[in-house]
Amino acid sequence: MPDATILMTPKARDLLQKQERSASVVGFEEAVVDFFVDAADLLGVPKSVAVLYGIVFASPQPLSFADIQARGTLSKGSVSQGLRVLREMGAIKEVSAPADRSELFTPDLEMRRLIQRFLEQRLEKQLAAGKSRLGALQRALPNLEKSHAETLRSRLEQLQSWHEKARALLPIARTYLKLAPG
């Protein structure tokens, strides 16, 4: 490795790497990161994960662990955990390294599947929980005095109706996602 950077501390190398990226590239990356941070916030995904995904998404080349850490935005721990989460979700994939170097990550652009999996994980679990709660309510109802039972029965029905609507929405969304390009 007859390379001047070998004499530098890792920190110095990182800084160099950072400065080498042109202002426009950095600016673009920042904008992408902001976009994903916003979206993550809506979906309840931790910010660090969104930042990480933004960095990978904004890079034309696959990035290594070190590359990402060199951005200086995230701690080693966050990078490690975040990459794991993203891999497990299928949001990024590792492209086999050209030579000896460590694994490189690039976004998995099958976003359709990604989003689908995400929705299903969250909603499906939620709907299952809701269903059992409604069951409990159903069972609690007969024990109430007559005067109360009537109003409450109708409210419970309302809850059930909404629950069903929500459940019906999942397949619709699924179908919808299959249409149109992307």
Partner DNA sequence: CCCCGAGTTCAATCTAAATTGAGCTAAAAT
Partner DNA sequence: ATTTTAGCTCAATTTAGATTGAACTCGGGG
Residues in contact with DNA by CB under 7 A are 1, 10, 46-49, 64-66, 74-78, 80-81, 83-84, 100, 102-103
Nearer to a copy of itself, 75 or 161 (CB): 161
Nearer to a copy of itself, 38 or 103 (CB): 38
Q: Where on the chain is the footprint of a copy of itself (CB under 8 A)?
A: 22, 24-25, 27-28, 31-32, 34-35, 38-39, 42, 44, 57-58, 60, 107, 109, 111, 115, 122-123, 126, 129-130, 133-134, 136-137, 140-141, 143-145, 147-148, 151-152, 155, 158-159, 161-162, 165, 169, 172-173, 176-177, 180-182
Nearer to DNA, 1 or 179 (CB): 1
For the chain, count helices (H), then strands (E).
8, 3
Could you tell me the two tokens for 44? Answer: 């309840």
Strand partners, 107: 92
Q: Residue 15: name its binding partner from DNA, a copy of itself, none (Cβ under 5 to 8 Å by kind).
A: none
Could you tell me the two tokens for 144? Answer: 């109430």
Nearer to DNA, 76 or 148 (CB): 76
Cα distance between residue 122 and residue 58, in whole Å: 27
E strand map for 38-101: 63-64, 92-95
Q: Residue 148: name its binding partner from a copy of itself, DNA, none (Cβ under 5 to 8 Å by kind).
A: a copy of itself
Least Cβ distance, residue 94 to DNA (angstroms): 10
Other beta carbons within 10 Å of 70: 19
In the Cβ-directed half-sphere of 155, how many Cα atoms lie within 13 Å? 7
Cα distance between residue 63 and residue 86, in whole Å: 14
